[in-house]
Structures are given as C-alpha cells and as structure tokens.
Amino acid sequence: MAAKDDDSSFDPCENNVSFPKIEESILEFWKQNDIYQQSLDQRAGQERYVFYEGPPTANGKPHPGHCLTRAIKDLFPRYKTMRGYFCERKAGWDTHGLPVEVEVCKELGIHAKEEIENFGVEPFIQKCQASVWQYMQEWEQLTERLGFWVNLDQAYVTYHQSYVESVWWSLKNFFDQGLLYKGHKIIWWWAQGGTALSSGEVGQGYKTVKDPSVYVKFPLLEKENTSLLVWTTTPWTLPSNQFAAVNEKIDYATVYDPQEDHYLIFAADLVEKIATKMKRELEVKSTCKGSELVGQRYQPPFDYFYKTDGDQTGTLKSGGTESRAWRITSADFVTTDSGTGAVHEAPAFGEVDYELLVSERERFIEGEGPNLICPVGPNGKFTAEVPDFEGQWVKDADKAITQKLKETKALYLLDQYEHEYPFCWRADDDPLIQYPRESWFVKTTDFKDKMLANNQEINWLPDHIKNGRFGNFLESNVDWSLSRERYWGTPLPIWVCSETGKMEAMDSYDSLIAKPGATGMEVWAAAKEANPELVEDLKVHKPYIDAITYDSPFAAGATMNRVPEVIDCWYDSGAMPFAQWGYPHQGEKEFKEQFPANFISEALDQTRGWFYSQLAISTLLFGDDPDIKFPHPFENCIVLGLMLAEGYVCAKCSHRHADQVKKCTECGGKVSRKTEKMSKRLRNYRAPNEIFDQHGADALRWYFFANQPPWTSIIYSERAIKESIPEFLLRLWNVYSFFVLYANIDGFSPSSISAAGQLNPEAISTGTGCRPVSERGELDRWLISELNQTLKVVTERMDQYDNYAACTKLSGFVDSLSNWYVRRSRDRFWAEDKQDVDKLDAYWTLFETLATICKAIAPFTPFISESIWKNLTKSFGAGATQSVHLCDYPMANEGLIDETLSRQMSLLREIASLGLSARMNAKLKVRQPLSGVTVVLNNQTDQAWLETHDDLLKTELNVRAVTYTTDAGEYVSYQIVPNFKLLGPRVGKLMPKVKGAFAAADGKAILESLSQTDKAVLDVDGTEIELTEDDVEVRLQANEGWAAAQGSQAVIVLSTELTPELIRAGLTRDMVRLVQDYRKELDLRRTDRIRLTIETAAEELTQAISENQDYLAGEVLAAEVELGAVGAQSVSREIGEYALKLSIEVV
RNA sequence: GGUCGUGUAGCUCAGUUGGUUAGAGCGCGUCGCUGAUAACGACGAGGUCCCAAGUUCGAAUCUUGGCACGACCA
C-alpha cells in the first residue's frame, strides 16, 4: 500500500486486495505500538468486564474448533472494551492429566503403569512437564494470527506452584469440612493405566464392539433337572458370580428342551426367540411371575468360592436366616429387551450389581451378609483365587472361560452381541472394566440444591442448556470421584499417620515444611542440584512431594506420609477462578476484583467438564458466603456447537477428496458431500494456518460470527469461508476503495476537522463544507438514518450476546450502503465542480459512515477495520486516535433515525426493482431509454414523497418520465383481501365466508366507498359486516398485455413504445460504452481528457451522435467529438448492425 | 433405553407474540452494467416448511404421537 502520491489524503487502495497481506501488516502495527496494552490502560479504573479463559492443553496441535472458541472469546471482550469496560484477559494453560502422560508414554514407547515405574517416576514427570509446551509456539501463533487479544505473557499454568497451592487450599477446605472422603466404589477402571476415569472421560471412549453373548445354565438346587437360563456379555465375570436377578413383574416360562432332556426357566416373551436361535423346539410347560422365583438357590457355573462358602447362611434383620449368596433375587433393571430376562450378578464388576449386593447386605444383621467377591487384581488379571485363569487379562480370558463352560455343559448358547462399550479415550485399544476401588470423593451431592440454585441464575446461551443438558446433569449429581492413581497431576495434599491412620490436609508447601519434624525436602534439593534447569514448580509434584514426611501429631513416634494419589485435572481447571491468582496465598485483590466472570465460552463438550467443575468448586467453596451472590463463578456462558468437517466422499470406493469434485479421481464413481466429525486421522479439514494464508483471519472470524448462531454445529468448510468474503468484507472494501479513489481524484480531504480524535459525528461536523445532516439531501439523510438504526440494533443484540443477529444487521447495512447509496450517488461524486454542495455532502456522508461502520465492525473483523481506520485518519497524524480499537463503540443517535424515510426508501427501492423486473420481462435492456413508467400504488400515503424522487427512478430505470396514477383501471385490476389479523378475532367462524365475500366483491367499489365515507359494508350470507380502511388490504393485479410488474405495494407499467429519438439515445449510450472500453484498453487514466473521432457510414449513428454530442462528450471526458475519417490509430467496432471506427487522442 | 437438540429451496441457515404471496446468502439460469472493473448489479427458476392427528375462523409457528439425524448419558 505504498503511497504513490503523498499529497493525497488517503493511500490509494490496491486493485487486487489481499486481506492476508493487510492482516500481517496490522499485526505488526499492533505489536509495534502495543495497541492491546493501550486498549487496557485506557480503561483502567473503569467498571470491569470479567472474562475467564478456559485453559486449553498445549500438548496437541490446535485445530479449527479452537479457532471458533478463540474467536468468540475475543469478540465480546473487544466489544465490551470499546463500550468502556476494563477487561483484562489472562491466558491460561491446562497442563496436568492423563492426556499428557499418554503422550509421553507414546514417545517412550511404553504403555502400562509398571513400565512407567520401571522408567522412573522422576524422569517421567520431568518429561511430562516439558511435553506440555511442545506445541506452545503453534498455539501462540494461532492466538496471535486470529487476532485473539489475550495476555499470554502472564498466563496461568496449572502446574505452577502457586496454582497447585491454591488448589490445595480449596481441598484442605473441603477436607476440614468433611467434604473430602475416601470411598469404596465401582468405577470405570483403566487396568493397563491403573487408574479410574471420570464419567466425562468414559463418555468419550464408547465404541461399538462385538462381545460374546453367553446363555448359561444355573441349575436350581431345589428343582430336579431344571436350570435358570442366565445371560451375560462378560463371561469373565462368571467366576465372580454371587446372584442371579430376575424381575418380579415379568412372566417366566419353564420350558422343556427335548434334545438335552432338561428344563429351563427364562422370560416367557423370549421363548420363541431363543428357540429360533437354538433351532430347537422348546415346549412351554408352565409359567410363573418372577417373584415366585426369588429366593431359590442355584449352583453357579464355577465353584472357586461356592465350594467353600456355598452353604453359608446369615441372620436376617427381619428374623430367620437365608443363604448369603447364589440365589435368585429381584431387580427392576432386568428387562426382556435382550438375553433371557435373567441376569448374572457379579457385584465387583458392575455398578448396579454392586448396589444390589449392598442392598442384600443390608437385609442381614451386621457382619452376616454377603461379602464382595473379587478375584481380579487392579492390573485386570485374574488372581490365584481363580487358578484356572490366573494371570490372564480378563478380556482375553473370555474365550477360555467359554470353553470351560462348554466342557462342564453349563453353556447353553453362544452368540455374538453388538453394543457400545467404553474404551480408554487415550488408548483406543484398551477396554475399560468396572472395578471396585478405593477412591477419594468430593461430597458434591450435599450441595446439589445449591448448585441447582446457582445454575438458575446463569445466563446460558442457548438457554435450553440451563434446564436441559446442564440442569439434568446436576439433578443426577453423584459425588465427584477426585483421585487418580497416576503421576502427573496436582498431588492430593493429604498426609496419613503411619500409626493411627488419621489424616491432615495441607494448603501450601510452606506450611508443610514448617511442620515439626518435616523432612525429605533434600530429595528435591538434590535433583535441582543435579539439574539446575529443573523448574522450581516441580517440587510440589510427585515424586518430590511424596518424599516429604513429618512427625505425626496423632501418635508419638509416628510419621505422616502423603497419600499416593494425584487429582482429576478437571478439578485444576475448575479452580481457575481463584487459582489463576494463587488465591488466597496471594492475589487477593485480583481475585476479589475479578470474581465472578461476566463471560465465558467453550464448546458443548465442556458441560460436564469445565462448566461443571467451575460451578461445583465455586458453589462448595463460596456458596455459603452471604457476600457472594449467585451466579458464580460465571454469569453468561455461550455454549458453542461442535465443529464439523466437510468432506467429499466417493459413494463407490469411499475415497476421500479434499475439494469438491463430481467424479471420483480413483474410480470415477459419484462423489457426494458429507458433513462429519473432524478427525485427525481422516485429515478431513484444512489447518487453520492455510485458511489464514489464503483468506485471512477476518474472513474466518466473520464466517463464524455471521453465518449461524454460535451454538449450532458449525461446518468448517473452506468453500463457505471463502464465499462469505464477497458478501461482506469485499463489499465493504469496495465501498471504501471507491471512496478513496474519488476523494483522491477530487482532492477531498477531511483534514479540516478540528480535534479529529475518534471521528465522532460532532468532530466530523467541524469539517469544511460539512453541513448538518438535516440540511443534506434525502439519500444522505436516509443513509445516516440507516446507520444509526444499525448501531441501535447491533448494540442491543451484542448486549444480549447475540452476535449472529448483530452481524446480520451489519451485513444488511453494508449491502444498502453499496447497492443503494453508492450506486445512486455515483454521479454526485463525478460532478465537475469540486466545491459543489451536493458533492461535498456525499463525501462527508460517506466519510462519516465509513468511519463509524469501521468502528462498529472492529470487534468482529479487527484487521480490516484497523486498516480502513488507519487510512481514513491518515491526514490527521497524531490528531486522530491511533487505532480503531482504542475508540469507543459508536452508539446510535436516535434523533437521526427517520422511520418514515426508511419506509419510503424501501418502497422506492421496491418500485425500482419492479421497474427492472418489467424491463426484463419485456426484454428491454436498461441502456435503451424509454419514454416513461406509470406507477400504481396500493396505498397513496407515500406518493407525494415518491414524486419528489422521480429523478432517482428515472436514472435507475433509464426512463424519461415517471407518473403516478390512482385511476389505473386500464393497467390493473384491484383485488381486495381481508386483514385476517383484525377481522379474524371479530368474525370468528365466519372468516372463511368473509374471505369468499371479499373475493366476490367489487374491489374498486369498496375502495371508493372507503375513501369517501371511511367505511364500507360487505354482505356475507345476509349478515352485513361493516369494514373500515384497516380491515381491507389491497392487492393490485397487472392486466394482461402490458409490460408490467407487480409487487406487494405497487404495480409498475412501462411505456414500451420506442421513438426514433429514443432509439438514437440508446445508440449513444452504446457509443459511450464502446469508448469507455477503448479508453480502458488504452490504459488511460480516469482523469485524462481526450479527442474522440468516430467514423461511420451509418446514418442513424451519425445522427445519434450529433444529437447527443454533449452527453457523449461529458460521459467519456472528451474535449472534442469529431465525426469523420479516423487516422491510423483506430479500432473497428459494432453497435448492433452498425459498423464504426474509433480513434482516441489524449489532449 | 434415557435426556437434550435439530428437521424450512441444490447447500448453509433466518423466520419475532399463530394471520393467508414463507425469506436471505451461496450455487444455478437469464440478462444487464462497464469511471468500484480480475469488480458490480438486476431478474428468474427452485419449497407437500419431516409425517400424522389435534387445538383454532386460520398452523412452518401451539399440543400430542411417530420418523430421521446429531450430541450427551446409560
């Protein structure tokens, strides 16, 4: 954008604008001048707008979904800053947890926990810490390139000591209140990784798999030759069987299998199904309710425990005794959807099974109920209690167990069953198992009501999240399973007495080492000495923290040792409202000033993640504080939809194509468009950087903001991103470059403005030749009115976090600006007299509009607006605000909104559009002047106004005259229709008849009656209905035979008769076009004056030219127009059937 | 199976409290413009508003029940 002419007020715009190139230079400008910091400094002391950054993990590459979150996170803080708020934006990084460990394991080529232990926890942790920053650069680059203004230099990091200690403080708080407890639960267990997974993590790993489906005979002890037929998809749990469950309400059949000469009991509804599967005739002997089966004893398929404990009984609380296990019980969850209607229960390996055990145990007096059978180790392998399968990984043992069942004839049927089963989300091949485990829990269930109340006060967008997904999740709240038996995470700050088992929680490193007898700190000191590069923060991590012990206050001579667990990394991120400041050990001021957040935003998958962890921790910690009102820790939350990729997939061979092609490049098959999940594996999306390089960050941002509400799923389609450019960015750019072009040609300069500052309307009004808006022409007043109307809507919508509606409004305005204001004002800019008042009005109006709209779009498309701003303010030097992002957001001046004018102009535009439509239908090109049009309005309210705009219509439609008529019976017929909204409630059921009566009535007569007496009477089946003007809507129907077009408010009729004079005028316009073409061909400057010579034998042309010589000369900037022989430098052209030669000479 | 959401033009989506000609952009077609020019504009074709029942004078809109898709959870 090098200035060719330093005298001009604006740098010329390049013809072929490259947004990515502009953006690079703007980034440089922001950096050089520290605009972000300035935008903050300028608001210091103002009311805060608090934003929390949900920390991403930087150990993977950022993908398009991150662009969306970062774009939305940028939009509202920018907007609010311009609205005058002080909005600091602290970046953050989520650094702990399984994802990091798994990455490091991959790098090391190891997998299981034992392998990590063999590698050594200390070097492993060090690797984790380093790995966290692996893609840091890419993240920072993306953040900057997208224009996401956030303070990266002072980012919070979840592994930092201060952060960890904040988390400790909150945990100690819970511990001291008894809210942190160790419990025994069935959890989803990742055996290879040796850790539990949270429900959110489990949810991410479901896959469809085929598992064996086994139907096993459980012989009943009290019934000869009869078995309960039990079904399971996890044969490996059968050795641990403790009960069989039926549903009391279901009917069970006793069937006879002749082939085996054996009786089987299972759900009556399933007899046919199972008979089909077995390809056997099964004979139903009798049926009974499930309740009749309850209590019967059976022999389990494996006797590892049964052989010793099979006869044990216990005393019931209700009196009497019952066998402890291996009998039929009842459970509601048993259905006949699949299987046999009888379910095998291994309480160790199923949550519902475990609950059943617990409720069974409660029937017995203390100590006499059934114990939990669990012959599987934490590594997922069978223990010595099951010698036949000892050491086998349970899932692998399925086969051997099935084989064994076959041998003992316990197996009745073997089948396959397809279902969803969870796998470890980070290690795809590892199936999870349900497993009993001791784990630390946070007692969130005690706070359910408070969390629900807190939730009610949050403004969720979209609002169905509140009582839908999030609300439901809170309703079914279970205690937070907090601990992880892993390595890289915030250590659980609890120390246990070696003697008494009593525990204490620590809230900081200092308070820990200040404990009497504290020792073990030298382990860290030694490591640090060996490697001074080690970051200090590691000292609060495993294994260093584990080394620290102190004297037990509970028993003399005993030591306090830390428990081995680390915590769920969701807890880390949920603690960020206070932990980002290190509160309460430090940062109290910052915390108090910036709690709660006004605004956060993440994608839908964070419902159970960050949204929940924040709300839960905050409610537990601060929910009872009378000074802290709900909602906290966030007030407004935009829940973004998932981002989908667009793919082109061959129907035949499934080959994937990156771009839209019709035929498959591999097999020639038909390729169809498909939207699907983004997947690293399929590489079905373009890297964000490629989008930035080709289309620019503003294009991507605008696409995100303006194409759909942010909570719908967004298709990341390069094609769509590209297409959104001409619609808005380029259109605005064209208007702007049009302005710059002519302002420079005319020497228009805004530099006369005193105190330019932010180029507010008041400042602009001081410019030389700038008249008050009220004195300017209609078109100018209309534009300013639309502009203010736009600002009004945009600020209203943005205050409601509705960026989509705001963008729609902005886009509509830019369209009006380009396609009506500039188009209709072009000749004003071309006026000869540089001091012409109307011309200056046009410049000032357009200048003000550009300056204002540029500020209005700044939060959305920060680059292009900055670029325009810099050029518009070029002539003021330091007199104008340096960056558009340092300006206040433009607010509507409602006094300048003229609703009537707006309505009238839209009517005028409709009439113009109808005129063009009529021309089109009559095949009369716009270049051909016509003698006139006749306009017939449905409603005369605005006729007088329209009549004052004849000139505009004349130019737009290229006609000589515009006439309005009310008596247009010749051209149109009047059709009247009822105003349903008004008449409906009044006449009720009569409405269909009224409608008929309207159709049958003489429209014109009724209209006349209305216009004369303000009322009319309609006869509907003998009932007279009195009508007022409002009850009737008029529709005009153009009669046949006219070149006419009808719209909702008017009919336009063209005079199609072409006089020779009109034809010649048309020829002249053709001539103008030819000359302009030729000028361009000769590469003349726009301001070059020429001598034009035309040579033609066509009489019609000669006459046309001489008749319209002045017009022609004016249009093509010809000093002279000569009819006669051309010289050697000429071209031959044709207009219709006429041939001619042209020559041009610059004078 | 449960919860939530979505279903409107070839594609992506709007459609305010129910009101009778259902809109936009892109794409497509036809044409125009040629001093915003590797732009720009106009016009047009294209819709059983997923289906069914109900409420109502009147339903894309409200109710109920289906169907399909998606997400989350079991």
| Å from the A691 CA to the B68 C1' | 34
| Subset of residues 5-64 in chain A with CB less than 7 angstroms from any atom in strand B | 15-16
Which among A189, A610, A711, A820 is annotated as catalytic? A610
| Subset of residues 306-345 in chain A with CB less than 7 angstroms from any atom in strand B | 337
Torsion of Cα atoms, A431 then A434 then A436 then A438, to 10°: 70
| Subset of residues 1066-1125 in chain A with CB less than 7 angstroms from any atom in strand B | 1069, 1072-1073, 1076-1077, 1079-1080, 1086-1087, 1115-1117
The amino acid at residue A278 is: M
Q: CA-CA distance, A983 to A977, in Å (whole number)?
A: 11
Name the nt closest to A920 by C-alpha to C1': B43
Predicted confidence at residue A266, as pLDDT, reads: 86
Residue A326 designated active-site: no
Residue A454 near residue A634, CB atoms below 8 Å: no
Residue A932 near residue A1055, CB atoms below 8 Å: yes
How high is the ipTM of this complex? Answer: 0.91
Is strand B in 7 Å reach of the CB of A830? yes
Predicted confidence at residue A915, as pLDDT, reads: 86
Is strand B in 7 Å reach of the CB of A408? no
Which among A94, A353, A572, A841 is annotated as catalytic? A94
Is strand B in 7 Å reach of the CB of A741? yes
| Å from the A559 CA to the B36 C1' | 82
Which among A495, A570, A711, A782 is annotated as catalytic? A570
Which among A21, A589, A680, A834 is annotated as catalytic? A680
Is strand B in 7 Å reach of the CB of A985? yes
| Å from the A926 CA to the B33 C1' | 9
| A1020 HSE (CA, 13 A, CB side) | 20
| Å from the A694 CA to the B27 C1' | 21
- Tell me the CA distances in angstroms from A812 to A149, A721, A805, one per residue in order: 28, 18, 11
Residue A606 designated active-site: yes
Q: Name the protein residue, with chain letter, whose CA is nearest the C1' of B2.
A: A472
Q: Find, among A453, A452, A554, the residue nearest to A503 by Cα.
A: A554
Q: What single string gives the DSSP state of each residue in A607-643?
A: IIIIIHHHHHHHHHHHTT-TTSPSS-SEEEEEEEPPE
Which among A606, A758, A789, A904 is annotated as catalytic? A606
| Å from the A916 CA to the B18 C1' | 35
Is strand B in 7 Å reach of the CB of A808? yes
Residue A365 near residue A324, CB atoms below 8 Å: no
Residue A654 near residue A667, CB atoms below 8 Å: no
| Å from the A761 CA to the B41 C1' | 31
Predicted confidence at residue A669, as pLDDT, reads: 65
In tens, the pLDDT along A942-952 reads 888 888 888 87
Q: CA-based Rg of chain A, rounded to a whole angstrom? A: 40
Residue A680 designated active-site: yes
| Subset of residues 178-207 in chain A with CB less than 7 angstroms from any atom in strand B | 199-200, 202-204, 206
Residue A830 designated active-site: no
Name the nt closest to A821 by C-alpha to C1': B36
Helices (H) and strands (E) in chain A, counts: 42, 42
Q: Name the protein residue, with chain letter, whose CA is nearest the C1' of B21.
A: A1048
Residue A615 near residue A455, CB atoms below 8 Å: yes
Residue A312 designated active-site: no
Q: What is the DSSP letter of A730?
A: I
Is strand B in 7 Å reach of the CB of A208? no
Paired tokens of A777: 């022409």
Which among A11, A30, A55, A698 is annotated as catalytic? A55
Phi, psi angle pair for A290, to nearest 5°? -55, -35
| Å from the A699 CA to the B65 C1' | 45
Phi, psi angle pair for A276, to nearest 5°? -65, -45
| Subset of residues 880-909 in chain A with CB less than 7 angstroms from any atom in strand B | none
Q: Which residues of chain A have pLDDT under 50?
A: 1-5
| Å from the A975 CA to the B21 C1' | 13
Q: CA-CA distance, A85 to A598, in Å (whole number)?
A: 11
Q: What is the DSSP letter of A1120?
A: E
Residue A610 designated active-site: yes
Q: Name the protein residue, with chain letter, whose CA is nearest the C1' of B57.
A: A989
Q: Name the protein residue, with chain letter, whose CA is nearest the C1' of B6.
A: A712
Residues near A382 by beta carbon (within 8 Å), at least 6 away in sequence: A239, A375, A376, A389, A390, A391, A392, A394, A397
The protein footprint on chain B, as nucleotides within 7 A of a CB, is 1, 3-5, 11-14, 19-21, 25-27, 30-44, 56-58, 70-74
Name the nt closest to A989 by C-alpha to C1': B57
Is strand B in 7 Å reach of the CB of A603? no
Q: Name the protein residue, with chain letter, whose CA is nearest the C1' of B42.
A: A916
